[in-house]
Structure 1
Amino acid sequence: MTRITLFIVLGFLFFACNSQTKNKEDFSSSSDLYKQLKAVNSNGVLFGHQDDLAYGVNWAYEAGRSDTKETAGDYPALFGWELGGIELGNQVNLDSVPFDKMREYVIKGYEMGAVITFSWHPFSALDSTRSSWDTDQSVVKHIVPGGSHHDIFKQHLDKVAAFFHSLKTKDGNPVPFIFRPWHEMDGDWFWWGNSHCTSDEFKTLFRFTIEYLKDEKGVDFLTAYSPDNRFSTEEEYLTWYPGDDIVEIIGVDNYGDFRVGSENIKAAQKKLEIVVKYARKTDKVAAFTETGLNRMTDDRWFTQKLGKSFLDGDFASEIAYVMLWRNDDTTHFFSSYPGHSSAPDFKEFTGHRRIWLLNDWNRFKEQNNMTK
């Protein structure tokens, strides 16, 4: 073999190996997840549920169980998980879910074909005994760059990054996911809320969090921005927005417009329209990132309230997913479960042709050549 021929062969092998490596990395990259969510568009809406595989009403950590599946006949298309407590090195999160179990459920959910999303309610870097809901102390200005506790906050982020890096399939592929930190900042119930820091301080916190995790720690994910429902214009919605360059998911959390006795479904729909229109304008993914009705005190809530907030709207229907909060016990649950009086309505809602559970989502990906 001549030297020239050898160089050609080696060059070809190098290119082929690099191509295979690149394909493996792209196989489960956040960019693939972004393309999948963008493809949903107005075809359907993924149904999601917080902690769905870990526990439900009257059960916990039983393999294969899911309140959604046992009520609607299939698993959610999106699973939500909570990281609060990991920044302190705790073994369980603030809802007592062991992080080792969570890792298993995240990987299982992804391998089933579901979308994965994380929220984070961290303890204060100023005082580790203070939760996200302890608001009698200024925190944000002390943990952003230049703040007195910035280095401690970075140590918290290091623990978040380590957990994210541990989310790999048996083949060694990283699990793509959505990260939704610092949500509901327009309310005042968290220490990063609007009564406890300025909008500029919040934007600095948000940007630093994302840039540190991605640029310094090498974590790959999609970022979600999700104020509460305290806005009525695009300008108000963007008050806390950290920038198009670091956000991919344009979301909103909304419980207030759905509470029995104070429902305002038209207002909820209008807010979703603001979200969708901004996502359209900036080529982002729109989402209803968190909602639910505690104790499900309205047996027709799913079809007559939640569904009407987006399925009946010209723009609101373009959200990619809607996620309900967790089912803990009979005093604290935000979706339905087997035997509850809302179960028939929930089954009707999830049976709507445009509400997608896991099999619907997997079928869509397969039909559009977007499967693994």
Structure 2
Amino acid sequence: MAFLQGCAGIAQTTINPLCDKNATEEAITLYYNLQKTAQSGFLFGHQDDLAYGVNWRYEPGRSDVKDVTGDYPGVYGWDLGGLEKKSDKNLDGIPFDKMRQFIIDGKKRGGIITLSWHLDNPLTGKNAWDTTPKSMESVLPGGASHEKYKSWLDEAAKFMLTLKDDKGKLIPILYRPFHELTGDWFWWCKNNGSPEQFKALWKFTVDYYRMKGLHNLIYVYNTSDFVSRADFLEYYPGADYADVLSFDTYEYSPPKPEDTSFIQKCQKQFAIIDDIAKEQHKLIALAETGLEQIPYEKWWTDTLVKAIGQYKISYVLVWRNHGWNEWMNPPHMHYYAPYKGQVSEEDFVDFYNLPNTFFEKDAKALSLYKK
């Protein structure tokens, strides 16, 4: 947490830094301010933060992060999965009407919004984790699923065009399509299509949104783990189609004192994307991370802070606090941010109080939406 003096707002901008050359003034302003803010610290984000937490759902004004720190996260993550089926709720059970209001409320308080989309497999109609061969190919122009995919984009666009502030302006969105593309678990991952096919899919999607009037989207290119610059860039659609370079990576077991592998992996990956971002004048982020159930009481200050190190990232987001999860094998508590009484609660407060961690009060003080 840090209330920085003199960093609220920026000078009138004359150059649009975003890949969308028709980007809204609000999106341009946010992007410039995120670039400036990253020099001093990073925003902390949490998925589905306002909708539910451990042992509660839809309690107005509540947040596990706020219960612990007295403040909301600076970044709110939400997912559009379910829109493609015209469902009234997303794949995690959040009604889209509630999500819309959560997004509007979060932005009004000064928070930043990021959207992902676990969209179903258009070829088979099964979920996003169905990796039937040639699914990616089927979505491209001329493919068997192309028209269906366009209708799904229409549904996503229809929803995103309703995300407006109290002045009727479209809220800037950090939009992260086809996330974790270097993995092998989604139908859009690299094992299911060539670099050329993925780039074509990405570019078609971005161009389609632009045609629909969605000029408020800041595009986040997102991989899972990678081992080299070439690995990260193999499926990259190019600087004209992305604004933020990011990766997702999780720690899967409590770290032992001698085990710094998670920290080292993050540092290596940050080094790679930081070089690319400086060349292309992009932001960088750790778009998803966490340690499920956070059993290490010092994970926030002794692991996550060290994993980020000195890199000037725009934000870090930890995954959702689902609570008891029946569909996991075996069923267990599923959460990535602490709640009152959780073993890492005190350390999370220490993390909150660091001068370079920005939560919602900081975001508001930094006036990220103002010139």
**1:269 counterpart letter in structure 2:** Q
> Are residues 1:324 and 2:318 paired?
yes
Query: Which of the residues 240, 243, 261 maps onto 1:248?
Result: 243
**1:171 counterpart letter in structure 2:** K
Could you say if the C-alpha distance between residues 258 and 208 of structure 1 is closer, same or farther in structure 2, counting changes exceeding 3 Å?
farther
> Are residues 1:169 and 2:165 paired?
yes
> Are residues 1:222 and 2:224 paired?
no
> Are residues 1:239 and 2:234 paired?
yes
Supply the distance in 2 between the matched residues of 1:287 and 1:335 (Cα, whole angstroms). 18
Structure showing greater relative contact order (alpha-carbon pairs closer than 8 Å, 6 or more residues apart): 2
Counterpart contact for 1:260–1:297, Cα < 8 Å: no
Counterpart contact for 2:254–2:296, Cα < 8 Å: no
Cα shift readout 1:55-93 (whole Å, capped 9, x = no counterpart): 111111111101111112211111000001101101110
Cα shift readout 1:257-303 (whole Å, capped 9, x = no counterpart): 87646743112112112222211111111111111111212221111
Could you say if the C-alpha distance between residues 179 and 341 of structure 1 is closer, same or farther in structure 2, counting changes exceeding 3 Å?
same
Aligned length, in residue pairs: 339
**TM-score (normalised: structure 1):** 0.87
* Aligned residue in 2 for 1:12: none
The Cα of 1:41 is off from its aligned counterpart by 2.6
In terms of mean alpha carbon deviation, does 88-97 or 264-273 score higher? 264-273
* Aligned residue in 2 for 1:88: 85
* Aligned residue in 2 for 1:17: none
Query: Which of the residues 61, 71, 76 maps onto 1:74?
Result: 71
Supply the distance in 2 between the matched residues of 1:247 and 1:172 (Cα, whole angstroms). 26
Supply the distance in 2 between the matched residues of 1:125 and 1:232 (Cα, whole angstroms). 30
Counterpart contact for 2:157–2:212, Cα < 8 Å: no
The Cα of 1:171 is off from its aligned counterpart by 2.5
Cα shift readout 1:225-249 (whole Å, capped 9, x = no counterpart): 01011x2221211111111001111
* Aligned residue in 2 for 1:8: none
Taking only aligned residues, the RMSD between alpha carbons, in angstroms, comes to: 1.9
**1:204 counterpart letter in structure 2:** A
Counterpart contact for 1:257–1:265, Cα < 8 Å: no
Query: Which of the residues 52, 71, 78 maps onto 2:49?
Result: 52
* Aligned residue in 1 for 2:7: none
Give 1:65-214 correspondences, 5 Å limit.
65-128=62-125, 130-214=126-210
Supply the distance in 1 between the matched residues of 2:49 and 2:212 (Cα, whole angstroms). 32
Give the 3-state SS of the residue equivalent to 1:235 in structure 2. helix
The Cα of 1:355 is off from its aligned counterpart by 0.5
**Percent of aligned positions that are identical:** 37
Counterpart contact for 1:54–1:61, Cα < 8 Å: yes
* Aligned residue in 2 for 1:34: 31
* Aligned residue in 2 for 1:345: 347
Counterpart contact for 1:28–1:176, Cα < 8 Å: no
Cα shift readout 1:116-163 (whole Å, capped 9, x = no counterpart): 0000010121232x0011113431100111211111100000000000
**TM-score (normalised: structure 2):** 0.87
Supply the distance in 2 between the matched residues of 1:219 and 1:27 (Cα, whole angstroms). 6
Which ranges of structure 2 fall in alignment gaps of 5 or more residues? 1-21, 325-332
The Cα of 1:254 is off from its aligned counterpart by 1.0
The Cα of 1:173 is off from its aligned counterpart by 1.7
* Aligned residue in 2 for 1:293: 291
